[in-house]
Amino acid sequence: MGPQGRAACSLLFLLQALAEPAENSEFFLPGDYLLGGLFTLHANVKGIVHLNYLKVPKCKEYEMKVLGYNLMQAMRFAVEEINNDSSLLPDVLLGYEMVDSCYMSNNVQPALYFLSQDDYFLPIQEDYSHYVPRVVAIIGPDNSESTKTVANFLSLFLLPQITYSAINDELGNKGRFPAVLRTVPGADHQTEAIVQMLLHFRWNWIVVLASGDDYGRENSHLLSQRLAHGDICIAFQETLPTPQPNQTMTPQDQERLEAIVGKLQQSTARVVVVFSPELALHNFFREVLRQNLTGAVWIASESWAIDPVLHNLTELQRAGTFLGITTQNVPIPGFSEFRVRRSQVGRPALNRSSQCNQECDTCLNTTESFNSILTLSGERVVYSVYSSVYAVAHALHSLLGCNQSGCRRDVVYPWQLLLEIRKVNFTLLGHQIFFNEQGDLSLHLEIIQWQWDLSQNPFRSVASYQPSKRQLKHIHDISWNTPNNTIPVSMCSRSCQPGQKKKPVGLHPCCFECIDCLPGTFLNQTLDEFDCQPCPSSEWSHRKDTSCFKRQLAFLEWDEAPTIVVVMLASLGFLSTLAIVIIFWRHVRTPVVRSAGGPMCFLMLAPLLMAYTAVPVYVGPPTVWSCIFRQAFFTLCFTICISCITVRSFQIVCVFKMARRLPRAYGCWGRYHGPYVFVACVVMLKLVIVASSVLATTTMPTTRVDPDDPRIMILSCNPNYHRGLLVNTSLDLLLSLLGFGFAYTGKELPTNYNEAKFITFCMTFYFSSSVFLCTFMAVYNGVLVTILDLLVTVLNLLGISLGYFGPKCYMILFYPERNTPAYFNSVIQGYTMRKD
């Protein structure tokens, strides 16, 4: 025989040896089709594997795992209930063989035993599609590590394996584990339920404790990933030491536990999430009680959330509030009585030296002592085992073509049954049973609270989680182990008040300082709670605001006192100017009117009247047309008036001082209507300047912040309007200087023609007020600019109306004897005689 043949024979001998009947088979029921069951009945038994048998002591010598025994009884109950039902599998008897997996140490040998045939022989074949193992399906084991170990063997044969509490998400990978199905939601849903509970109670500062096995590492890593970019921070994470099989602790492990509990005592985090099998928690919680750690919130993973042995440590209620994640409670009628019923079923004797105690009286007695708490706590994981057995039964019903008359007695191949199990869809105790694409059954999860009142459910449901919607809801009142039953606070930093941004302190985003948002900024927590956002230009905010408000638009309004005063002055000016027009019109041929300019007086008075009537364009919100009107119309009216005054001053000087010296020039001046030509030229030049200014600068109204009050937005003409106003005013200032010069030159003229003091007053006031207005505009941008601009405009109009025309009206009305040609001639003769 060659090396390859010898190797094959050696492997065959090993597989056959491992497939020998299990010494620790607890229950056996013969039947047409057998189900294999893997349950943890002895949590601290260490199996010693030999080549031909597994040596396991009697269960009475070791501590029993009550939940494991409870789940094994659930499988027995489901099988007996199906066998007693004539409609599901008529004339077909389901059998079972259940093995104690001893937590994790005894998984491979039972798996090979279940895969073997009746002769305990597991042949090596190229094609196993027509291979019939000892059992048609396996229920269990209860933890992810053991499930993956067993699945690596069963998946080669496509032997259906339905686990009732293994939550590792890798088991949903059908490429790696094609034969694995689960009647419990995966670890992702457990993590999501925990996170949503933390968010609901606003716990953002937590501690994570995990066991050193795959279960602890994988689930803590999954939670850390889920919280990586969230609002919950992990203060610290520790690994709990795994005890020896007999629950003894080494000195190093004891020191480690003391350090972990001491760290919990010093931490500000009061919420502790624990991912660990219950095996590693007994010594830990004894240390918690020894150091008197109180006031914490303990969140249990599904592995120990409803463990009755841990709950039996009644002193734990001093440690704080215990919450846990577990499957929903589905009452199973008759199971509580069956659990403590002493079975009469025995296994046929086998040809071997020893066999396990079939009816473990000590195990049953232990279960009876916990029966009350098991009954009150409800059938949670029990229903997962119960529904697993029924899923296999319904698949057999379909595969064997069962009807009311009976079922076919066909050979059932594992791969055929696996396909049928994936397709089952039935109702069991009011719940729909079907498997999704990942092979998972979508049962609800529940948040439970531990209670120690003997008259109440020890694991009271306080919330439910729907895996299909990934939503935690129906959160009931929780009895907190705190003064006044207040919700415990677990935050690195207290929540900031509205309108306060967070300034990170240290490495954790949950640790921060709260800083008020300054005026003009606000905090939008949905966008960024670590930085205040600036308000839009048209809005403002107070300190610590969470939103901005519209700035108040400010412009010159009719009901304001300055507006009323200016409008009254404008009305006075308009009426007085209108009266001057009437007076001058009635006395148009008198010497006073003719000496004031004659027809040119009306050329001055008409723009004055129009300027007065246009004052309302300064009041109300500015528009494009009102800004153009301010920039063009008023300055044009002023230019006409000032050019007329200037040319009138020049003409008087020419008559008395230049006519004799330049008679020809004076003749041309009079012949070609020099005054009107001068005014027309000035007006044309002004039109060019105004048009250029309007085209060069936008006239669109703008808003800008009031420098005195940022809550106010000033609505005014474009700031470039001020520059245009300076350009337009420059010509008027030049004309006012010329008029002032000519008036000063003619200060010695006859009294009736001496207008120096009146023109000087008008021009000086106009010049000084214009310079003051331009200076004020350059240094201030408030709404006061509009008020002052309007006031200066009205006062200048009044200065021309009353300062220039007022004295002449006074002479016409009160000194008519001086308004005669004879009087004017006598004055001129007197001036001529003094000159001679």
pLDDT tens figures, 299-325: 999 989 988 888 888 899 999 999 999
Domain 187-329+444-473 annotated CATH 1.10.760.10: no
The span from the CA of 362 to the CA of 332, in Å, is 25
CB-hemisphere CA count at 13 Å for 348?
A: 4
Give 362-377 pLDDT, tens digit per residue: 555 655 666 666 666 6
Q: Which of 102-111, 188-197, 572-581 has the lowest mean pLDDT?
A: 102-111
Averaged over 69-81, what is the pLDDT?
90
- Does the structure show a pLDDT above 50 at 576? yes
Sign of CA dihedral 315, 316, 320, 325: negative
Give the model's confidence band at 352: pLDDT under 50 very low, under 70 low, under 90 confident, else very high: very low
Question: Kind and range of the H or E element at 426?
Answer: strand 426-428
Residue 41: pLDDT over 90 = no
With cut-offs at 50, 70 and 90, classify the pLDDT of residue 45: very low
DSSP three-state, residue 238: strand
Q: State the average pLDDT over residues 275-287.
A: 88
Q: Give the CA-trace dihedral at 350, 354, 357, 362, to 10 degrees.
A: 180
Pairing of strands 320-327, 296-300: parallel
Give rounded-to-5 percent helix, strand, coil for the chain.
Answer: 50, 15, 40
Give helix 251-266 / helix 282-290 axis angle, nearest 10°. Answer: 60
State mean pLDDT over 242-260. Answer: 81
276 by Cβ neighbours in 10 Å (0-12 / 13-18 / 19+) ranks as buried
- Computed over every residue of the chain, the mean pLDDT equals 80
Q: Could you please report the per-residue DSSP string of 745-790?
A: HTTTS-GGG--HHHHHHHHHHHHHHHHHHHHHHHH--STHHHHHHH
Give the strand order in the sheet containing 180-182.
Answer: 25-29, 94-100, 33-39, 137-139, 161-163, 180-182
Strand partners, 39: 100
Whether pLDDT at 24 is above 80: no
Using the predicted structure, report yes or no on whether residue 795 has a pLDDT greater than 80.
yes
* Number of neighbours of residue 144 by Cβ within 10 angstroms: 25
User: Averaging pLDDT over each range in 443-452, 722-731, 777-786, which range is the top one?
Assistant: 443-452
pLDDT computed for residue 658 by the predictor: 60
Q: 242: which 2 tokens?
A: 């795994």
pTM here is: 0.65
Tell me the CATH number for domain 561-833. Answer: 1.20.1070.10
CA distances from 298 to 207, 457, 575, 666, 744 (A): 10, 18, 90, 113, 101
| Segment 498-519, tens digit of pLDDT | 888 888 887 888 888 899 999 9
Q: Is the pLDDT of residue 718 over 80?
A: no
Centre a 10 Å sphere on the Cβ of residue 442 and count the other Cβ atoms it contains: 16
Which pLDDT value is given to residue 12?
A: 39
Per-residue confidence (pLDDT) for residue 17, from 0 to 100? 41
The answer on pLDDT for 160 being more than 70 is yes
Top pLDDT among 744 and 6 is at 744
Instruction: Inform me whether the pLDDT recorded for 109 exceeds 80.
Output: yes
Q: What value does the mean pLDDT take over residues 192-207?
A: 93
54 compared with 20, residue with greater pLDDT = 20
In this model, does residue 16 exceed pLDDT 60? no
Residue 629 DSSP label: I
Query: Tens of pLDDT along 226-245?
Result: 998 777 899 999 999 877 65
CB atoms within 10 A of CB 555: 18
Sequence length of the chain is: 836
Question: Cα(136)–Cα(34) distance, rounded to whole angstroms?
Answer: 6
pLDDT band at residue 665 under the 50/70/90 scheme: low
| pLDDT tier for residue 413 given thresholds of 50, 70 and 90 | very high
Contacts of 583 (CB under 8 A, 6+ apart): 809, 812, 813
* Cα Dmax for the chain: 168
Q: Residue 358 has what pLDDT? A: 38
Q: What percent of the chain lies above the pLDDT cut of 90?
A: 26
pLDDT given at position 614: 81
Exposure string over 54-93, b if 16+ CB within 10 A, otherwise e: bebeebeebebbbbbbbbbbbbbbbbbbbbeeeebbeebe
Asked if residues 636 and 693 have their Cβ atoms less than 8 Å apart, the reply is no
Q: Flag whether pLDDT at 61 surpasses 50.
A: no
- Reported as a pLDDT band with limits 50, 70 and 90, residue 830 is low
Distance, CA of 741 to CA of 640 (rounded, Å): 18
Helix (H, G, I), strand (E, B) or coil at 44: coil
pLDDT given at position 783: 67
Distance CA(297)–CA(326), nearest Å, equals 17
Pairing mode of beta strands 94-100, 25-29: antiparallel
Q: How far apart are CA 239 and CA 211, in angstroms?
A: 5
User: Which DSSP helix (H) or strand (E) runs through 28?
Assistant: strand 25-29
pLDDT range class, residue 337, cuts 50, 70, 90? confident
The angle subtended at Cα 761 by Cα 760 and Cα 762, nearest 5°, is 95
**Is there a contact between 642 and 735 (Cβ–Cβ < 8 Å)?**
yes
CA distance 554 to 765: 30
Looking at mean pLDDT, say which of 87-91, 289-293, 723-727 comes out highest: 289-293
Mean pLDDT of 257-280: 92
Distance in angstroms (rounded) separating the CA atoms of residues 322 and 281: 14
DSSP state, residue 559:
T
For the beta carbon of residue 364, count every other beta carbon within 10 angstroms: 18
Tokens of 781: 């941008």
- The pLDDT tens digits for 798-817 are 888 887 788 888 888 888 88
Q: Which residues contact 219 (CB under 8 A, 6 or more apart)?
A: 167, 187, 190, 191, 210, 275, 301
In angstroms, the Cα distances linking 409 to 363, 394, 694 are 37, 15, 104
Specify the higher pLDDT residue, 620 or 827: 620
345 — pLDDT class (breaks 50, 70, 90): very low
Tell me, what amino acid is at 482? T
- Going by CATH, does the domain composed of 22-186+365-441 fall within 3.40.50.2300? yes
| pLDDT of 756 above 80 | no
For residue 525, is pLDDT > 60? yes
The 8-class DSSP code of residue 630 comes to: I
In the chain, how many H helices and how many E strands? 26, 27
Residue 441 gets which letter from DSSP?
B
Q: What is the pLDDT of residue 238?
A: 94
Rounded distance between C-alpha atoms, residue 82 and residue 62, angstroms: 33
Q: Phi and psi of 26, rounded to 5°? A: -85, -40
